[in-house]
Chain A
Amino acid sequence: MNKKDLEHLLPLARPLGRSGRQTSFTQSVMEQLRPSATFAGLLRTKNATKQGAFMKLLHMHKVAALAVAAVTTSIIGLTGYGYASGNNPFSVIKSWVTGDSVHVSYEGQTYHYGKNMNYSDAAITAYAELNTVQKLYSADNVLLTVPKGGIEYVDDPANTAPMYPWVGAVKQVTNDSLIVQKQFVIGNLASQNQDTDETVTLPLGELSYSVEGKAVVTPNSAVGKVVEIYSVAYVKHRVNSTDPLQHVTHYFAYQLTHSLADIKEASKQPLHYSDPSAQPILPDKAPSTDTNLCYNNGADTCKFPASFNATTFQGLYGDMTDPTTGEFEGSRNNPSVVGVGDPNGTGPSKTSVVRQTEGAITAITDRNFTIKTSSGANWTFAYSSALQQTFAQTHSPLKIGDNVFAVILAPLTNLDNHTIDTAHIYQMARYKQ
Chain B
Amino acid sequence: MNETQVIAAICAGDVEQYANLVERYQTGLIIHCDRYLHSRSDAEDIAQQAFIKAYAKLSEFNPERAHFSTWLYRIATNLVIDHLRIQKHSIPTEDMELFGVNDSIPYDEVLLQELRDTVRSLQPPEQRHAIEAYYWDGKSYLEIAENMGVPINTIKSWLRRGKAQLREKLS
Contact A3 B167 (CB under 8 A): yes
**Chain A interface residue bracket vs B:** 35 or more
* Distance between Cα atoms of A9 and B60 in the complex (Å): 25
Contact B5 A70 (CB under 8 A): yes
Contact A1 B166 (CB under 8 A): yes
Contact B5 A11 (CB under 8 A): no
- Of A22, A40, A73, A295, which one neighbours B15 at CB under 8 angstroms? A40
- Of B31, B59, B116, which one neighbours A341 at CB under 8 angstroms? B59
What 0/1 readout, one digit per residue, does chain A (1-25) give for beta carbons within 8 Å of chain B?
1111111111111110011111001
Q: Is B75 an interface residue (CB 8 A)?
A: no
Contact A4:B99 (CB < 8 A) given known A13-B112, A13-B116, A26-B19 = yes
* Distance between Cα atoms of A69 and B22 in the complex (Å): 21
Judged by DSSP, the binding face of B is helix
For A8, A62, A189, A277, which residue has the most chain B Cβ atoms within 10 angstroms? A8
B27 CB contacts on chain A under 8 angstroms: 11, 14, 22
Contact A13 B20 (CB under 8 A): no
- For the complex of A and B, the 4 pairs showing the least CB-CB separation, nearest first, are A11-B28, A20-B137, A70-B12, A190-B19
Nearest chain B CB to A363 CB, angstrom units: 31
* Distance between Cα atoms of A329 and B61 in the complex (Å): 10
* Distance between Cα atoms of A69 and B14 in the complex (Å): 13
- Give residues 187-207 of A contacting B (CB, 8 Å): 188-190
Q: Is A59 an interface residue (CB 8 A)?
A: yes
Number of chain B residues whose Cβ lies closer than 8 Å to a Cβ of chain A: 68
A354 CB contacts on chain B under 8 angstroms: 12
A25 CB contacts on chain B under 8 angstroms: 22, 26, 30, 44, 47-48, 138
Contact A21 B138 (CB under 8 A): yes
Q: Is B86 an interface residue (CB 8 A)?
A: no
Contact B52 A34 (CB under 8 A): no
- Give residues 148-174 of A contacting B (CB, 8 Å): 160, 162
Contact A3 B163 (CB under 8 A): yes
Contact B51 A14 (CB under 8 A): no
* Chain B residue nearest in CB terms to A328: B64
Q: Which residues of B contact A (CB under 8 A)?
A: 1-2, 4-5, 7-16, 18-20, 22-28, 30-31, 44, 47-48, 51-52, 55-56, 58-62, 64-65, 69, 98-102, 105, 107, 111-113, 115-116, 119-120, 131-133, 135-139, 163, 166-167, 170-171
* Chain B residue nearest in CB terms to A1: B170
Nearest chain B CB to A308 CB, angstrom units: 7
Q: Is A260 an interface residue (CB 8 A)?
A: no
B19 CB contacts on chain A under 8 angstroms: 26, 29-30, 188-190
B65 CB contacts on chain A under 8 angstroms: 327
B8 CB contacts on chain A under 8 angstroms: 66-67, 69-70, 73-74
Q: Is A186 an interface residue (CB 8 A)?
A: no
What 0/1 readout, one digit per residue, does chain A (297-314) give for beta carbons within 8 Å of chain B?
000000000001000000
* Distance between Cα atoms of A259 and B102 in the complex (Å): 46
- Of B18, B51, B116, which one neighbours A15 at CB under 8 angstroms? B116
Total CB contacts across the A-B interface at under 8 A: 195
Q: Is A37 an interface residue (CB 8 A)?
A: yes
- Of A8, A9, A15, A287, which one neighbours B2 at CB under 8 angstroms? A287
* Distance between Cα atoms of A159 and B27 in the complex (Å): 33
Contact A66 B59 (CB under 8 A): yes
Q: List 11 A-B contacts (CB under 8 A).
A: A6-B170, A8-B105, A12-B24, A19-B137, A20-B137, A22-B137, A26-B26, A39-B59, A62-B11, A67-B12, A287-B5
Contact B5 A73 (CB under 8 A): yes
A67 CB contacts on chain B under 8 angstroms: 8, 11-12
Q: Is A345 an interface residue (CB 8 A)?
A: no
Nearest chain A CB to B36 CB, angstrom units: 13
Contact A26 B23 (CB under 8 A): yes
* Chain B residue nearest in CB terms to A2: B167
A30 CB contacts on chain B under 8 angstroms: 15-16, 18-19, 22
A74 CB contacts on chain B under 8 angstroms: 1, 5, 8-9, 12, 14
* Chain B residue nearest in CB terms to A73: B5
Contact B26 A22 (CB under 8 A): yes
Contact A6:B163 (CB < 8 A) given known A12-B107, A308-B64, A329-B62 = yes
* Distance between Cα atoms of A113 and B26 in the complex (Å): 26
* Chain A residue nearest in CB terms to B20: A189
Contact A33 B15 (CB under 8 A): yes
* Chain B residue nearest in CB terms to A74: B9
What 0/1 readout, one digit per residue, does chain A (40-71) give for beta carbons within 8 Å of chain B?
11100000000000000001101100110111
For A37, A71, A284, which residue has the most chain B Cβ atoms within 10 angstroms? A37
Contact A4 B138 (CB under 8 A): no
Q: Is A28 an interface residue (CB 8 A)?
A: yes
Apart from A62-B11, A73-B4, A160-B13: 14 A-B pairs, beta carbons within 8 A? A2-B167, A8-B28, A10-B119, A11-B31, A12-B69, A12-B107, A22-B26, A25-B44, A30-B18, A30-B22, A59-B60, A62-B61, A69-B4, A277-B120
* Chain A residue nearest in CB terms to B24: A12
